[in-house]
Structure 1
Amino acid sequence: MNILATTCRWSVPIFLRAGDALTEGSDVVVSEIDGSRVARVLGTGDEARGRAVGHLREYFGNEGEFFTGSLFETFAQAESDPYKIGTGDLLALSMLSVAVTGEGAAYIMSDAFQAEATALLKKIPVDVSFEDEAAAVHLREEGESAGSQLWTLVGKAPGMGLTKTSKLLARKRPTLFPVYDKVIDQVLELGGTHMMWAKYRSWLLKDDPAHGKTLIAHAGDLAAAAGIPSHISPLRVVDVVIWMEFRSEVLRA
């Protein structure tokens, strides 16, 4: 049996299409995220800043409840090769409360999958960030994008849906691929469509007059104020702050 011949059970691309542009003067219409709901943690003012910094210190500093997600980036990292998806990477997903099935793990660890994944990861710089212009290239939907091909490859593994796939890609390129889950989706109304990260990236990179900078830059300031580890990217800061603030109301709904 050729394990890579397994039929993909879902196909919901979330990357930018080849013609998408997020620069000034673009003809592409990207529906905007309404940031009013998250203003209570990402907005201006001492109260919002205090809530965000408090969430980050609680999550990464283990002040009170222990959050295994604080270990996601570093768990079994000594065994992790940036150009391979290994067993340590699969185990790291459990830090974010998801698990790869045995069938899925066998698929991902197969020689054929590993060869293809390594070839794709070598095309994506380790240090490329979500806010870099180059990021748009790696987040495109169509075939020339290594990021899109990697997303599709991982998504074919049995039991890997949108959330698990996004988390595995975030493990390999934490400054480029955002984490997607139920909380982030509902709060930001991303919708799980092919324009999802276009919306997210446009929102985070838009100049915010209230802050006098972009939201992704503001996230970096929050990280510094909270004193969290330097390897935590601003992209992850946004994810954690939103998740901590809204997890209770979303998950019990």
Structure 2
Amino acid sequence: MCRQLRDQRRATSPLQAERWLVGVELRTRLRMGLDQQAPSQLTALQAAVRRVRVHAWSTARNMRTTIALFRAAALRCESLSRGEDYVSSIGTLRGCAEKHLQTYIDPRGPRAFRTYDWQGDPERLSPLDCLAPALLSVRIGYKQVVPLFRPDGPGAEVLRAMEAVLANEMCATADFLDVTLDARRGPWSLVDRALVATGEAGGTGLPDFKAVAVTKILHRKRPNLVPIFDRNIYQFYLGENPISGAYKDTPRRLWPLLQADLHSQKEWIQDLIAAIRTPDDRRLSLLRAADIIIWEHAASGCDT
């Protein structure tokens, strides 16, 4: 293991982790030729470090999460110094994936598996369905859900866009791993339109109701087609945090990376989840399994 990661593992506080990140940033600058030879990479480096530092200190819920964010930023620094884009793979979590799954689905544990993963009626969205993201730590309540069920307005447009996904026969059988990620046609275009509507319906979109909420609503109804858009998932694959209120271009950066990775790693994940059933006795989807593994890995501060 490289010296930088050994140093990071010894970090016992967010402040020590940040000092470690600063050291990596300085070493990266030196490798770039004292800022002169790779200005575009330096700009990307500075942006990555700035975003993760501000985000970690302002929103991290605990020390482990903060350190994990700094670790990811430093790994991105190292990749940028070599002129590479930092993209991770769920394959790197193979050694701890089963542990994370068992922790998450434990009926006596603190996670939301026995509540969120009840599908309900797969063909309709009720107000309670639209509150389901709260079970996955989304700040959502009556202010976000009531407008969806008004007869008109931006909220009604967003609900219609989500219902169009459920009404489409191709969406009912489509698999994210095989679907063409085309925003103009095919099953995925309907998912994309629902995400775009949250920011553009009625010219204003919906405040505090964007890609995170929509994907966590639609995933329960179409678990093989709609992946969950989440800060931890985005950060895992792209090495940085998504912008606040992401709804269109930011999720579009994630989908191809997620699709390609899960397609290449699907065999061992499918073997791992073969015996797992949801609380309402359905097979656990590969998309949900990947979400659980990556999220639990980040939330637990796992360093396996």
Q: What TM-score, normalized to structure 2?
A: 0.55
**Superposition map of 1:132-143 within 5 A:** 132=178, 135-136=179-180, 139-142=181-184
Residue 74 in structure 1 maps to residue 132 in structure 2: no
Note if contact 1:184-1:243 (Cα within 8 Å) is conserved in structure 2: yes
2:64 corresponds to = none
Superposition deviation, residue 202 in structure 1: 1.4
Q: Give the 3 Å change call, closer, same or farther, for CA 70–52 of structure 1 in structure 2.
A: farther
Superposition deviation, residue 240 in structure 1: 0.5
CA distance in 1, matches of 2:114, 2:234: 21
2:67 corresponds to = none
Note if contact 1:104-1:160 (Cα within 8 Å) is conserved in structure 2: yes
Normalized per residue, which structure has more helix?
2
Partner of 2:173, secondary structure, is coil
Identity of aligned residues (%): 22
Match of 2:287 among 219, 224, 235: 235
Q: Give the 3 Å change call, closer, same or farther, for CA 162–249 of structure 1 in structure 2.
A: farther
Superposition deviation, residue 154 in structure 1: 4.0
**Superposition map of 1:187-206 within 5 A:** 187-189=236-238, 192=250, 194-206=252-264
CA distance in 2, matches of 1:101, 1:88: 10
Give the aligned CA root-mean-square deviation in angstroms.
2.8
Note if contact 2:116-2:136 (Cα within 8 Å) is conserved in structure 1: yes
Partner AA of 1:222 in structure 2: L
CA distance in 1, matches of 2:92, 2:160: 45
Superposition deviation, residue 33 in structure 1: 3.0
Residue 152 in structure 1 maps to residue 152 in structure 2: no
For 1:59-83, what per-residue CA distance to the aligned partner results, in whole angstroms no more than 9, with x for missing partners?
11335x32124421206x1xx352x
1:166 corresponds to = 215
Match of 1:96 among 118, 136, 149: 136
Q: Give the 3 Å change call, closer, same or farther, for CA 218–173 of structure 1 in structure 2.
A: same
Q: Give the 3 Å change call, closer, same or farther, for CA 217–88 of structure 1 in structure 2.
A: farther
Q: What TM-score, normalized to structure 1?
A: 0.65
1:21 corresponds to = none
Residue 184 in structure 1 maps to residue 233 in structure 2: yes
CA distance in 1, matches of 2:228, 2:142: 22
1:125 corresponds to = 171
Partner AA of 1:231 in structure 2: R
| Unpaired stretches in structure 2, ≥5 consecutive residues | 1-84, 200-204, 243-249
Q: Relative contact order (C-alpha < 8 Å, sep 6+): which is higher?
A: 1
Note if contact 1:32-1:199 (Cα within 8 Å) is conserved in structure 2: no
Superposition deviation, residue 127 in structure 1: 2.8
Partner AA of 1:247 in structure 2: A
Superposition deviation, residue 177 in structure 1: 1.2
The structure with the larger Rg is: 2
CA distance in 2, matches of 1:40, 1:117: 34
Note if contact 1:60-1:70 (Cα within 8 Å) is conserved in structure 2: yes
